[in-house]
């Protein structure tokens, strides 16, 4: 294990989990310790949730890594986001071609609603890309609630707050267990749909899973009908379950 290290000319997508730094896998930790370059998305203030999660691993390095913060606009304009990913991919490719190992830190799992997916799409034809899975916020939420996501013949679906009302309503009426990720902006709409489908009592709401400011609401009727933070989700589970 001590001999494991990031390899030259390789781009790694590393999942750092939902928030608790102790949930970073050993493989991810060793890559963070040994990579030449560490990159991550950052907001307009330069803050990176992924880097915050991995800060203990970064601080444990024998020597500092070159860090690249890819500024990601918070608007919903996809063209601006695509431009940010284009710039990030160009910077990463430059370092890979120079013989460096590059680790991209991604909240949760890199290939599950992960920002790494957009870089992989841009770089997979020109660089060797490897992926280290991470614990997703869905699994983190189930652990925080101490509730199984699905049992026996229960159906399970993961949706996004970006889906339409019709799509979300269909999921809520067709499946036993429903997780709605990226719920922040859509929270008022999701609450209305839970009421319409008679699933308010089944729903749980979580913010910032595994972090110091983690917040869990098991009675969503107490939630204000207002937009929530980006890192929030709903977990809807049947109250009466087969044993």
Query: Contact, 95 vs 36, CB < 8 A?
Result: yes
Distance CA 25, CA 142 (A): 18
> Distances in Å between the alpha carbon of 170 and those of 5, 164, 190, 222, 238?
46, 10, 12, 24, 16
4 within 8 A of 30, measured Cβ to Cβ: yes
Residue 1 has pLDDT above 50, yes or no: no
138-236 homologous superfamily: Tetrapyrrole methylase, C-terminal domain (3.30.950.10)
- Quote the pTM value: 0.90
Share of the chain above pLDDT 70, in %: 98
Q: How many H-runs (helices) and E-runs (strands) does the chain carry?
A: 7, 10
Q: Are 113 and 231 in contact (CB under 8 A)?
A: no
Mean pLDDT computed over every residue of the chain = 94
Distance CA(192)–CA(34), nearest Å, equals: 48
Q: How confident is the model at residue 135, as a pLDDT? A: 96
pLDDT number for residue 6: 93
Of 42-56, 75-89, 189-203, the least confident = 75-89
Average pLDDT over residues 149-165: 95
Is pLDDT above 80 for 243? Answer: no
Rounded to whole angstroms, how far apart are CA atoms 192 and 132? Answer: 37
Task: Tell me what the mean pLDDT of segment 145-157 comes to.
Answer: 94
Give me the pLDDT at residue 73, please: 82
> Per residue in 187-210, pLDDT tens?
999 999 999 999 999 999 999 998
Confidence grade of residue 102 (pLDDT, cut at 50, 70, 90): very high
Cα separation values, 106 from 31, 53, 66, 156, Å:
13, 10, 17, 24
More confident residue, 47 or 122: 122
DSSP 63: S
- The alpha carbon dihedral of 36, 41, 47, 52 has a sign of negative
Query: Counting Cβ atoms within 10 Å, is residue 157 exposed (0-12), middle (13-18) or buried (19+)?
Result: middle
- Mean per-residue pLDDT for 213-242? 92
- Under the banding of pLDDT at 50, 70 and 90, the label for residue 242 is confident
pLDDT of residue 75: 65
Residue ranges matching CATH 3.30.950.10 in the chain: 138-236
pLDDT for 197 equals 97
CATH 3.40.1010.10 domain position(s) in the chain: 10-135
- Quote the pLDDT of residue 4: 80
Question: Which top CATH class is 10-135?
Answer: alpha beta
Q: What is the length of the chain?
A: 243
Token pair recorded at residue 148: 């199984």
Residues 77-99, mean pLDDT to the nearest whole number: 93
Contact status, residue 50 vs residue 78, Cβ threshold 8 Å: no
């Amino acid at each position: 294990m001590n001999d494991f290290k990031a390899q030259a000319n390789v781009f790694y997508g590393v999942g750092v989990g939902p928030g608790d730094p102790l949930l970073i896998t050993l493989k991810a930790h060793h890559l963070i310790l040994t990579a030449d370059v560490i990159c991550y998305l950052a907001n307009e203030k330069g803050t990176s949730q992924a880097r915050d999660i991995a800060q203990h691993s970064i601080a444990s390095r024998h020597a500092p890594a070159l860090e690249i913060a890819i500024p990601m606009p918070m608007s919903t304009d996809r063209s601006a986001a695509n431009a940010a990913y284009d710039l990030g991919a160009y910077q990463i490719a430059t370092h890979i071609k120079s013989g460096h190992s590059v680790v991209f830190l991604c909240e949760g799992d890199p290939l599950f609603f992960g920002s790494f997916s957009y870089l992989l799409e841009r770089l997979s034809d020109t660089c060797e890309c490897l992926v280290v899975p991470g614990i997703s916020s869905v699994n983190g939420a189930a652990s925080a609630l101490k509730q199984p996501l699905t049992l026996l013949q229960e159906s399970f679906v993961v949706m996004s707050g970006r889906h339409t009302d019709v799509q979300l309503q269909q999921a809520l009426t067709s499946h036993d267990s429903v997780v709605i990720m990226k719920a922040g902006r859509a929270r008022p709409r999701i609450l209305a749909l839970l009421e319409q489908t008679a699933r308010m009592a089944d729903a749980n709401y979580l913010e910032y899973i595994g972090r110091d400011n983690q917040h869990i609401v098991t009675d969503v009727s107490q939630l204000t009908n207002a937009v929530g933070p980006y890192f929030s989700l709903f977990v809807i589970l049947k109250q009466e379950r087969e044993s």
